[in-house]
Structures are given as structure tokens and as C-alpha cells.
Structure 1
Amino acid sequence: MSPLEFVAVLGAVALVVARWLPAAARPPVTIAAGAALALSAAVLGGVGVRWQMLPVLAGGGVALPFALSPLLRRRAGRPARRARWWRALPGSVACAGLIAAGPVAAWGFPVPVFPEPSGRFAVGTRVVQWTDARRPESFTADPDDRRTVVVQLWYPAQKSAAGAQRAQYLGRTEQEARTVSDALARGVGLPGFLVDGVPRARTRSVFDAPVAGGGGRFPVVLFSPGSGGVRTQNTAWAEELASHGYVVAALDHPYDSAAVVLDDGRTVHAETASTGDRDEDEEPAVGWTAVRAADLRFVLTRLDDLDRGEVTGPLTGRLDTGRVAVTGHSMGGAAALQAARQDHRFDAVIDLDGYPHGPASPSLHQPTLALTQAVTPGTDPRYLPRLTEVLELNTATSYRLTVPGAAHLTFVDGPLYLPPVPSLVGSLGRAESPRVVAATTLAFLDSTLRHRPGDLAGVLSAYGDLGVYGRACAGRPGCG
């Protein structure tokens, strides 16, 4: 809760409590509490009241006339009347219940607070839009329409001046953030107002911050979000990686991402949708995965162009496109696996709880890390056998880490702003969820892209149940 919202809660609580104070204390407490509530309500009305504050204002508003009435009557020279305690108690309890509902709702649906990145670099971010002139847009009937993707980059940056405005979450502007937030809510059947705190959030990066000095080149990590997801859905993870010297390029896939705001102001909404029938959904999912894989390969080409100066940008000469990982969540994880099969420029793969849609051949040849939730009765029974098949066919060593207490949304920013319901976001908690995902993937990237020595399997196994797979693993202790 913001300081202003906290003042409103205190004022409302004090108005309820004033009825039960000694006679000498009631007038000053009532006047101070009423003034605090009225002032905070007026200011909140001007800047925008979050829905979580409505029961607080309602409870305080109901208590206010009962608290002020004895004072006004005494001031007018009339005898003060107070209800007997047994009559006042139900009303006080009802008002207190209303007021308490506000902080509880704010706790359940907060304005997300992003963790401070732990690396030595500050983090900058910028958004680019690229069109693939060689590839028609498969989601439209216009033969002249070409596939366009929006990419957000997080990169090591110079430290910004104190007080520099941090980047908006979910979009370049608050309006874009609200458009995306509303689309995400609709995608899961929720009214947009429930997550109204999300587009208010600020991240830990700064838009267009100068790139970190030193002239070094940074390994690159591409990211594809889940079905209906958006490029910013793993911002906490991207900022952590960037603070450790990686450039993260996350994609919006138009017509698949919930909402994509283009440079010309148009908003492209998702046209892909799951029916809920696993067999019926498999065929279109294979096609959508193929489009995403093509998007990832195209973006890697554009990043290579950017590094060589064929595309202008502050990261020219700073991208090490000879050390690249492709990653994704859910369907984005499936797209990462497919892209790596098709393009050996990708040196490593990370699949965040993604079912491997599409063909399992040709085999992977890159080190692969798959982070998964634990198997439950609701898990697709084909998931783990299919994933295991893909990992076992890999000619490089692959790792599957089952994270205890994780759910499907543990691997995105969801735990930072959704209710802490274990079936929804897992049971790791708001601070631990992003920490586990970042620590495990960072250890894998440092080992595979930077070739840092160490016991990768030992590091990963500290976070859950680890399986090691791949042809290169055959006969080794602990391998699947």
C-alpha cells in the first residue's frame, strides 16, 4: 500500500476506535481521524483510487457521522447522545470488517515491487520493432502484410542519476501498460480492475539508459513468452540477467501475445485461443510454435545486424552473437526448443515449464535446461514423457529440474502481483519465486555461454529434483 493509502486506513480505523475511547480522548481523535480520512480520500480521488481502497473508504464513511454526531451536538449546546455499547458494537465490528478488507485485498492484488537486481551492472531497457520483409503475416489475409515483431531489450547500463524515472512495467507508457494489463486479465477471464495495480508498477531498469562502459561484448538471451503472454512477463528475470552482464531480448508475438502495441499506435490482440481439449489444441499449437520459432530466428538475425552496425542502435558492437541462448515459458519454451533444432546459432536452450509441441527431430545439439513444476493429477500425462524424450535425444547434456512448490506461473512475474494461491503461483512466495528462477538459469547460462568452471549439476540440485539426460551423458553417474 502507498503511504497515502496507509493514512486512509489509519484514519478509518481511528474513527471506529474513537467511540470506545475515554470521553476526554474522543474529540481530538475523532477530529484528527476525520481530517486524515477526508484529505486522503480527496487526494486519492484526484490521482485515482484503487478498488482495494473502496471498502476502507466505505467503512470510514459509515463510521464518520456516528463519531462526529456527539461532538456537533455538544458544540450546539445540545446533550450528546451515544448508543449503548451493545447497540454500537455490531456497527463497529461491521465497519472494522469493511476497513480490514482493504489491506487484505491490497495484499492479495498488490502493486508489484520488483526485486533489486543482484549483479554489478545497472539495467537499461529499450523497445524496438522489426519487420521481416521475407515472411508473410500468416494471421492475416493481406498478401502484402509482413510479419512484424516487437522486442524489448534489457542490457547492462551505466548507473543513472539519482531520481531517474524507472521504466513502466508492461509498456512504454502507462496507457500501453493498461492496454496490456486489461488484455492479460481478459485472457484468463478476470475483470481488469482486479489487477489495476500492475500497470502502476515501476521496474528496476531505466528506458534508454547509456550502455555500460568498458567496451566488452555481452552474451545474448532471447525469450519467448507463453501463449497469450507478453514480452514483459519475465521482467524480474530479465533485469537480474542483465545486471550480470547479459542482454535479454524478449519478444511480443503479434496475434498470439495478449496485446501488442505497435509503433504506429495500433493494438494487435491475440487471435489464438485454447479450447481446453488437449488433443484438439495440439495441431494449432504446433503451428503457433512454428511461427514463434521463426520469430526467434529472425530476431537473432536482426540482433546480429545490430551488432555489426547494419541496424543502428546503442548496442552496436556490444552484442556477442557468438554466445546466444534461446529461452521461453510454456509455449515459448516449446518455441525455444524448435528454434534451437532449426538454427545452430543458438548455443544453449532454457525451457520454463513448456510442453514440447511439434516434432522431436532432428535432435537437439545444445545444452538444455528444463525447469518444471511437480507432476500433479492435473498435469498433462504426456508432458513429462514427451519432455524426457526430447532431452534424452539431445547430443549435448540436458538437465530437467523439478522445483518443489512451483506452479506454472512460478516461472513468470505472476507471484509478484497475483494472490498467493499455491495452485496458481506456487508456494515459494513472492520473493523466493523470482530468486529461484533467476539463480538456476543464471548458473546454467554462466556454465554454457561463459564456460565458467564449477559443478553445475550440484548447483541445480540444491533447488529441486534434478535429472541429467542426453547421449553425451550415457554411462555417467546420475544421468538419466
Structure 2
Amino acid sequence: MRVLEMVLVASSVLVLMVLLFRNTINRTTEAIAGVACGSLLAVQLLFEGYRWQMIPAYIVAALLLAFVLFRRRKVGKLLRYTILALSIVLLGVSVALSVLLPVFHLPKPLGEFSVGTETFHFIDDDREESFTEQKGDKRELVVQVWYPAAESGRSAEKNSVFPKDRRLFHAYMQAYSGYLGLPAPTLDYWKYSKANTSIHADLHPADNPYPVVLLSHGMGVGRILHTSQAEHLASHGYIVFAVDHTYSTVMTAFPDGRKTGFLTEQSQERLFEDSRAILDVWNKDTAFIVNQLEKLHSGAITSKFEGMLDIDNIGMLGHSFGGAAAFEAVYSNPRIKAGVNMDGTLFITKDRDDMKKPFMFMESEDFMNVNEQQAKYRKTPATDAELKGLRLTREQFDTILANRETELKLMDRLSQQGYGRTVYIEGAGHYNFTDLQLYSPLIGLTGMTGSMNGARGAEIVNRYLLEFFNQHLRGIESKLLAGPTEDYPEVKYPSSVFQGE
């Protein structure tokens, strides 16, 4: 709960006690307590702002004020105790809702730098948009960058997680409410959540260019869910470019006010064919962004980043489908040195054994559970009942099984060659690799995140990402990546991910 919300609830409890023991407290004291409670309600609404989780507490505060100011006669014991019980229930509901659906703030980055952010709108004039049917429609991308900010950025107002513009914010809430299956008004309180960045802050001066990390989101969400990862890396001296892969996001907003939604087709019947076609588009997005980085660095595109991007040290990370995109980009693009796949299935595995670049697979706890099931199904085919439960035909199931086997063998071979590294995190679910784990402890009940505390999950992911890129983009040897550690016992290092023949 926010500070004034806690004070409001406490004052309401105090007034309730005054009413309960009114025989020993005079009318003036009672009135002062009631007015104070009402005043605190007004102050909380004015300075912190309304949110629906506090409606029961607002009702209690308003009714208590009215009761104290306008009561003309003694109230019977039964009514007093009824008011007390009802008020305590309402206050308890507000406290519970506020704790379970909090105004979240992203964890403060631990690096030495303040963090700045700004957004670019790039148009690839050489590429037709493949997700629309409009002729001459060029591929457009919105890319947000986080970077080490000059000292003046510390005193600047911190950016919110979502856009402050009212119309744009509500558009995002409509989009995310559809994604989460919730009414849009229930997400309205997200407008209060703070990031740790200053918009358009000056770049922190440095003698040498900063290494660069590209970031690719999962299918159907967007770059916003990876803000804390970008902030953390930027606070440690990286410049992070996160793309919204247009038409594969919950929503992309362009500077001229246009908004696009999700138009990507990825059917169960053609899962691998569709996914490989989408990966081709995303891989071209990444290659195009790398070209834009070179223009930013050379000054061909005017920006604060002229001469400050270390084009020789570019890494990439991605989550889910974005993790598959990271693997493909690192493999195919000679300008990207190293990468991380956070819990993403590889849809292209053929002829990828010759990748001689560092790559880390960070997996959820389910990763090893699925591998064990994989081994079981190699020995005993899935029953018709199991296939019905999975909503798959036998042909579809066998195709998924075969791709999974090829993927696991590839991961093992890369590890054996000394280029790949696979870890999985006990207690982590798929969305523990995003900021969604910080939004509410209730997220875990949906199965989107695991049993792990969200703050702990963010700490682990951010620490391992930093260690990986420090080692492979800066040449700082990491003891953390060498094997299991007492600091993070949740992180496991399997000797092999393929469960035998």
C-alpha cells in the first residue's frame, strides 16, 4: 500500500475506536477525529490519486465523517457494533486488494549509472510489410533505448512504466486487458507505477563507446514487459535497444498517433511453418536495427549516441518467441557476438550446430519436466486420451516431439563445444523472465509465473544477464556462470538436457 493509503486506513480504524468507546470520549474529540479522517481521504485522493482497490476504504472514511458530523442522537450498542464490523470488513477488503494488486514500482537498478530513455521510430524503406495487405506498406518499427544517463538525470522526474498520455495509456490498458482476460478498468491503477528512467536525459560522458544489447519480446506482448531488465543493464554501462515487433505485439503506438494490434498468424496446424516465417520477419527486423545502430554511431542519424555505440560488441537477449529470435539473430548476423534465450522454443534447428558464438539458454522449471515427459513419450507413445487433452493430432504431436528432441540435442552439442550454456531456475514459470512477475502476486495463480517470488525472480534473471554480457562483451570473467552457487541455489546447471535415447 502507498503511504497515504495506509494512513487513511489507520485513521479510519481510529475513528471506529472513538465511536465504539464514545461514552468515554467527548463529542468534540469525536468530531475532530471524524474531520481528520475526511481530510486524510481528500489528501490521499489529491496527492496519490484514486484507485479502485481503495473504494471500500473510501466508503468507510466518507461514512464515518458523515456519521460524526451529522449524528443527532445516541446510537444503540447493536448498531454501533454492526457499523464497526462492517467497516472492519470493508477496510480489510481494501487492504487485501491493495496488497494483492499493488501499485508496483520496478526494482531500482543496482549499477553506478542513472538511466535515461527515449524512443525511435524507424521505417525500413527496402522492405514491404508482410502482416498487412496494403500495397506499398513499409515495415515500421518502434524501438525504445535505455542508456547510462548523465548525473543531471538523477534529479529529473522518473518515467512511468506505461505512457502518461491519458488516451495512449487507456489504449494500452484495453490491449493488455484483452491479453490477460480482465476488464480494462481493473488495470487503470497501472498508471501510477514507476520505472527508474528519465526521459531524454543526456548520455553519461565516457572515454569509450558503450557495448550494446538488443532485446526482443515474446509473442503477443511487447517491450514494456522487459523494462527492468533494460534498466538494470543500462545502469551498468550498456545501451539497450528493445524493439516492438509490429503486428506481433499486444499494441504498438507510433509517434503520429497510429496504433497497431496483433495480426500475426501462428496456427496449431502449421505451427512450425508459420513460426519460421515469423522468425524470418523478426530476424530481418533485428538486422535492420543493427544497420540503424551503425547510422546512429556514425552520425548519419542525428542523436546523442554518435560515436558512443560499441558496434564491435553487440549482444542480444529475448524471451519466449523473442528468445528463438535471439538465437537465430546471433547465429545468422556476424555483427552480434553473443546472446541469451529466456525460456523460448527453437523453431529452426537444422544446420545450427556450427554456431561458434557464446549463447545461454535460461529456462523455467517446467523445462526439465517437459524433457522428462519427452523421454517418456519416446518409450511409450501418447494415448488418444492424452492427445485429446492436449488438443493435438498424433501427427502434430509427433512433429512437436521430433523438433523438441532436435532442439535438446542441439543445446547439448553447443554446450559440449564450449559455446552453449543451459541453466534452469527452480520455481520459475514462463513469465518470471518478464516484469509481469512484479505486477501482482496473483499472477502466479494463473500459471503464468511459478512459485518463485517476483522480486527474487527479477534479481536472478537480471544478475545472470549482466554476468553473461559482462563476460562476452566486456571480457570480464564470471565466476557466477561457472556453476552452482550458494547465492542462487535456485539456478541449476544440468549436465545434459536431452534425456537419453
Q: Check whether TM > 0.5.
A: yes
Instruction: Flag the 1:450–1:163 CA change in 2: closer, same or farther, 3 A.
Output: closer
Q: Which shifted more, 362-371 or 35-44?
A: 35-44
Question: Is residue 2:412 matched to residue 1:392?
Answer: yes
Cα distance in 2 between the residues matched to 1:93 and 1:140: 58
Per-residue deviation, residues 288-322 of structure 1 (Å, max 9, x unmatched):
23222211111111111211111111011111111
Q: Please tell me the residue identity of whatever aligns with 1:5.
A: E
- 1:122-271 correspondence to structure 2 within 5 Å: 122-160=114-152, 163-171=155-163, 173=165, 175-271=167-263
2:448 match: secondary structure: helix
Cα distance in 2 between the residues matched to 1:154 and 1:329: 18
Cα distance in 1 between the residues matched to 2:301 and 2:484: 38
Cα distance in 2 between the residues matched to 1:58 and 1:7: 15
Q: Which shifted more, 239-248 or 334-343?
A: 334-343
Counterpart residue number, 2:60: 59
Counterpart residue number, 1:406: 428
Pick from 440, 443, 447: which aligns with 1:418?
440
Q: Which shifted more, 46-55 or 24-33?
A: 24-33
8 Å CA contact retained: 2:37, 2:61:
yes
Counterpart residue number, 2:283: 293
8 Å CA contact retained: 1:60, 1:99:
no
Cα offset, 1:421, TM superposition: 4.7
Cα distance in 2 between the residues matched to 1:451 and 1:302: 25
Instruction: Flag the 1:468–1:300 CA change in 2: closer, same or farther, 3 A.
Output: farther
Cα offset, 1:56, TM superposition: 1.2
2:314 match: secondary structure: strand
Cα distance in 1 between the residues matched to 2:483 and 2:126: 43
8 Å CA contact retained: 1:333, 1:351:
yes
Question: Is residue 2:47 matched to residue 1:81?
Answer: no
8 Å CA contact retained: 2:117, 2:199:
yes
Cα distance in 2 between the residues matched to 1:103 and 1:274: 42
Pick from 361, 374, 388: which aligns with 1:370?
361
Cα distance in 2 between the residues matched to 1:199 and 1:453: 40
Instruction: Flag the 1:22–1:332 CA change in 2: closer, same or farther, 3 A.
Output: same
Cα distance in 2 between the residues matched to 1:227 and 1:36: 50
Cα distance in 2 between the residues matched to 1:220 and 1:316: 13
Counterpart residue number, 1:347: 337
8 Å CA contact retained: 2:349, 2:406:
no
Q: Which shifted more, 288-297 or 242-251?
A: 288-297
Q: Please tell me the residue identity of whatever aligns with 2:74.
A: R
Cα RMSD (Å): 2.7
Cα offset, 1:154, TM superposition: 0.7
Q: Percent identity?
A: 27
8 Å CA contact retained: 2:317, 2:323:
yes
Pick from 468, 492, 495: which aligns with 1:465?
492
Cα offset, 1:97, TM superposition: 1.1
Counterpart residue number, 1:439: 463
Runs of 5+ unmatched residues, structure 1: 74-79, 471-480
8 Å CA contact retained: 2:323, 2:344:
yes
Instruction: Flag the 1:111–1:280 CA change in 2: closer, same or farther, 3 A.
Output: farther
Per-residue deviation, residues 438-471 of structure 1 (Å, max 9, x unmatched):
111111111111121243533565531113679x
Cα offset, 1:89, TM superposition: 3.1
Per-residue deviation, residues 246-300 of structure 1 (Å, max 9, x unmatched):
111001111111111101111111223667x5x5544433322322221111111
Cα offset, 1:237, TM superposition: 1.1
Cα offset, 1:332, TM superposition: 0.7
Cα distance in 2 between the residues matched to 1:103 and 1:29: 27
Q: Please tell me the residue identity of whatever aligns with 1:369.
A: M
Q: Please tell me the residue identity of whatever aligns with 2:427.
A: G
Counterpart residue number, 2:397: none
Counterpart residue number, 2:4: 4
Cα distance in 2 between the residues matched to 1:6 and 1:289: 48
- 1:33-44 correspondence to structure 2 within 5 Å: 33-42=33-42
Cα offset, 1:341, TM superposition: 2.2
Provide the TM-score with structure 2 as the length reference: 0.84
2:307 match: secondary structure: coil
8 Å CA contact retained: 2:468, 2:481:
no
Q: Report the structure, 1 or 2, having the larger helix content.
A: 2
Cα offset, 1:326, TM superposition: 1.4
Runs of 5+ unmatched residues, structure 2: 375-400
Cα offset, 1:147, TM superposition: 0.4
Q: Which shifted more, 144-153 or 21-30?
A: 21-30
Cα offset, 1:181, TM superposition: 3.4
Cα distance in 2 between the residues matched to 1:323 and 1:452: 13
8 Å CA contact retained: 2:52, 2:189:
no
Instruction: Flag the 1:306–1:37 CA change in 2: closer, same or farther, 3 A.
Output: same
Cα distance in 2 between the residues matched to 1:264 and 1:421: 34
8 Å CA contact retained: 2:275, 2:347:
yes
Cα offset, 1:415, TM superposition: 2.0
Instruction: Flag the 1:31–1:258 CA change in 2: closer, same or farther, 3 A.
Output: same
Cα distance in 1 between the residues matched to 2:150 and 2:9: 40
Per-residue deviation, residues 205-262 of structure 1 (Å, max 9, x unmatched):
1111111112311111100111111112111111111111111100111111111110
Cα distance in 2 between the residues matched to 1:128 and 1:397: 33
- 1:281-320 correspondence to structure 2 within 5 Å: 281-320=271-310
Cα offset, 1:4, TM superposition: 3.2
8 Å CA contact retained: 1:164, 1:206:
yes
Cα distance in 1 between the residues matched to 2:92 and 2:29: 20
